[in-house]
């Protein structure tokens, strides 16, 4: 059998330097394997990937060439080298700028290779023609027409035009209303620099009205930095901000589930978190309502279902169970709040019986929470939102007859401290506080396992400060009545401060 010329050429062995290394004698690779490997390493290209996909090597080399030779230089001629047909428009582009986009570069190379017998020779002539050293003798380049079909609904003509403009002018302003479309355009164009700029803009512009679309874009384009930023932002703002606005309706269930499981989740109290979640369910089921309803309206809605079956046991509520399993119902201890739990007929009877039994056991045993072990997943949580106008801010809390004041102090523009302190019931400012919470413990000491955590947003990144998990006996007099003080330095405002604790058996 006669071996074909192609097969013979592929197996040919040539001398390369003083060694006898294997060498590719034909295009697309014109060097020995060792030198190719070294070249790919210098260009930060995966060797095996390049052997499978030679286009990537060409693109990387050309991008490097244009970056080195044409950076910050004006376009020599208004004459376009390339016509891009896309979205019903014809966009005039120039080669040095076009090669910043990997997608456009591939389309251009494909068109170039289809139109010539010797594509690499054409590339070499292209690079020589574009060299700044030869501008005087440069001959007009062939005008190429390439086409790009886009099916992503996020890409608008304005957004795509903005993306193409970024090929020519760095730091083009990206409007908030266009950022999703520009991100989608950058993803399609494989324009990594612009894509990252869009991500940075989105992270700094997270708010109740944007959180849903930005999170879904992060999932769609597998951009972990963006999805993580959305999760962290919502961990802080679900209860104090989003939970007060109609935008709560748009929060996706999978995002909500992640946030509810997070130990960093901020809430003023466990009951406040429950109210936020009930409102979210109400808004899912009442699409026509465009304003935040009163708490009484929400309670009445759930109470309106037949009493023979609780809401979470109904078909409509089954899929929501994982969300409500994340709540710490045992942290709801106030009598009137526990009455609401039963009134709305939302939770299975077994859940409510477990909560009641745990409370009864704790009251019988001086506050001991025998069933709670893990501070990260089971602790009772209370929170302070420390704003610009606060110099001193405190709140009274009560659990099983023990009263604590959680306090925040500002010492100067960037210095703060946070702590909790046990208060004797006879020292409370108002006797109404005692009446409202009813049980009063006369125990002189209460063993508490606690952690204080403070978080603030600075330049798009979350700063986190926390104490260790501390075990301390709280007495009624100083110094034993006061917790460890968390001292922080930050320029971030507001500061989200969480106090998490359990009462271990003592």
DSSP state of 139: P
- Report the length, in residues, of the chain: 506
Quick check: is 193 in a domain?
A: yes
Number of domains within the chain: 3
Both 385 and 475 in one domain: the answer is yes
Structure tokens at 271: 């009951």
Both 325 and 286 in one domain: the answer is yes
Give the distance from CA 46 to its chain's centroid: 29
Both 93 and 196 in one domain: the answer is yes
Q: Is-contact 384 418, C-beta < 8 A?
A: yes
The C-alpha atoms of residue 249 and residue 425 are separated, in whole angstroms, by: 41
Gyration radius of the chain over CA positions? 32
Which residues lie below 8 Å from residue 476, measured CB to CB, with a gap of 6+? 422, 424, 444
The CATH number linked to 85 is: 3.30.710.10
The C-alpha atoms of residue 92 and residue 105 are separated, in whole angstroms, by: 14
- Taking every pair of Cα atoms in the chain, the longest distance, rounded to a whole number of angstroms, is 106
Both 331 and 284 in one domain: the answer is yes
Both 200 and 85 in one domain: the answer is yes
Return the C-alpha torsion angle 380, 381, 382, 385, nearest 10.
180
For 287-310, letters b (16+ CB in 10 Å) and e give eeeeebbeeeebbebbeebeeeeb
The C-alpha atoms of residue 392 and residue 418 are separated, in whole angstroms, by: 10
Both 201 and 96 in one domain: the answer is yes
Quick check: is 323 in a domain?
A: yes
Decide which of 156, 189, 205 is a domain's last residue: 205
Reported as type and span, the H/E element at residue 185 is helix 179-189
Both 320 and 395 in one domain: the answer is no
Which residues lie below 8 Å from residue 47, measured CB to CB, with a gap of 6+? 36, 37, 40, 41
Overall pTM surpassing 0.85 (yes/no): no
Quick check: is 237 in a domain?
A: no
Both 406 and 312 in one domain: the answer is no
Q: Can you give the pLDDT at residue 77?
A: 52
Residues paired with 500 in a beta bridge: 381, 451
Digit-by-digit pLDDT tens for the chain (506 residues) are 444 444 444 444 444 455 555 544 444 444 555 555 655 555 455 656 655 665 555 555 555 555 555 444 455 456 778 899 999 999 988 878 888 888 998 888 888 777 665 555 565 565 555 555 544 444 455 678 899 999 999 999 999 999 999 998 877 889 999 999 999 999 999 999 999 999 999 999 999 999 999 999 999 999 999 999 999 999 999 999 999 999 999 999 999 999 999 999 999 999 999 999 999 999 999 999 999 999 999 999 999 999 999 999 999 999 999 999 999 999 999 989 999 999 999 999 999 999 999 999 999 999 999 999 999 999 999 999 999 888 999 999 999 999 999 999 999 999 999 999 999 888 777 666 655 667 888 888 999 999 999 999 998 899 999 999 999 999 998 889 999 999 999 999 999 999 999 999 98
How many Cβ atoms are within 10 Å of 142's Cβ, its own excluded? 15
Q: Which domain holds residue 88?
A: 80-124+142-205
Quick check: is 109 in a domain?
A: yes
């Amino acid at each position: 059998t006669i071996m074909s010329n192609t097969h013979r050429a592929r197996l040919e062995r040539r001398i390369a330097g003083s060694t006898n290394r294997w060498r590719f004698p034909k295009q697309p690779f014109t060097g020995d394997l060792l030198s190719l490997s070294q070249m790919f390493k210098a260009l930060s290209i995966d060797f095996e990937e390049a052997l499978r996909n030679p286009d990537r090597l060409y693109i990387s080399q050309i991008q490097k060439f244009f970056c080195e030779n044409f950076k910050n230089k004006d376009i020599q001629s208004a004459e376009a080298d390339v016509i891009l047909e896309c979205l019903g428009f014809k966009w005039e582009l120039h080669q040095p700028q076009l090669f910043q986009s990997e997608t456009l570069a591939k389309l251009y190379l494909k068109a170039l290779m289809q139109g010539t017998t010797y594509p690499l020779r054409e590339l070499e002539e292209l690079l020589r023609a574009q060299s700044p050293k030869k501008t005087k003798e440069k001959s007009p380049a062939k005008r190429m027409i390439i086409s790009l079909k886009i099916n992503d609904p996020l890409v608008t003509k304005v957004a795509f035009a903005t993306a193409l403009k970024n090929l020519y002018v760095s730091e083009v302003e990206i409007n908030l209303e266009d950022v999703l479309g520009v991100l989608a355009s950058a993803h399609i164009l494989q324009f990594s620099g612009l894509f990252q700029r869009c991500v940075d803009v989105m992270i700094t512009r997270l708010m109740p009205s944007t959180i849903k679309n930005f999170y879904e874009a992060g999932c769609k384009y597998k951009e972990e930095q963006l999805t993580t930023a959305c999760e962290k932002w919502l961990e802080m703002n679900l209860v104090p901000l989003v939970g007060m606005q109609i935008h709560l309706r748009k929060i996706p269930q999978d995002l909500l589930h992640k946030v509810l499981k997070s130990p960093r989740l901020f809430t003023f109290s466990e009951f406040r978190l429950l109210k936020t979640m009930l409102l979210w369910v109400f808004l899912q089921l009442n699409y026509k309502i465009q304003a935040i309803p009163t708490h009484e309206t929400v309670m009445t809605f759930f109470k309106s279902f037949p009493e023979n079956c609780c809401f979470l046991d109904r078909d409509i509520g089954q899929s929501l169970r994982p969300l409500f399993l994340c709540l710490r119902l045992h942290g709801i201890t106030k009598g009137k709040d526990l009455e609401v739990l039963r009134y709305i007929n939302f939770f299975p009877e077994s859940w409510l019986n477990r909560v009641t039994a745990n409370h009864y056991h704790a009251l019988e045993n001086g506050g001991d929470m025998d069933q709670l072990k893990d501070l990260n997943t089971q602790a009772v949580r209370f929170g302070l939102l420390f704003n610009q106008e606060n110099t001193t801010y405190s709140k009274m809390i009560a659990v099983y007859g023990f009263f604590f004041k959680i306090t925040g102090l500002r010492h100067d523009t960037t210095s703060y401290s946070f702590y909790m302190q046990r208060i004797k019931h006879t020292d409370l400012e108002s006797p109404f506080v005692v009446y409202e919470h009813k049980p009063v413990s006369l125990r002189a000491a209460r063993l508490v396992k606690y952690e204080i955590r403070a978080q603030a947003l600075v330049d798009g990144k979350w700063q986190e400060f926390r104490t260790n998990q501390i075990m301390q006996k709280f007495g009624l007099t100083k110094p034993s009545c006061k917790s460890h003080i968390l001292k922080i330095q930050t320029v971030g405002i507001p500061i989200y401060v969480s106090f998490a604790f359990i009462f271990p058996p003592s």
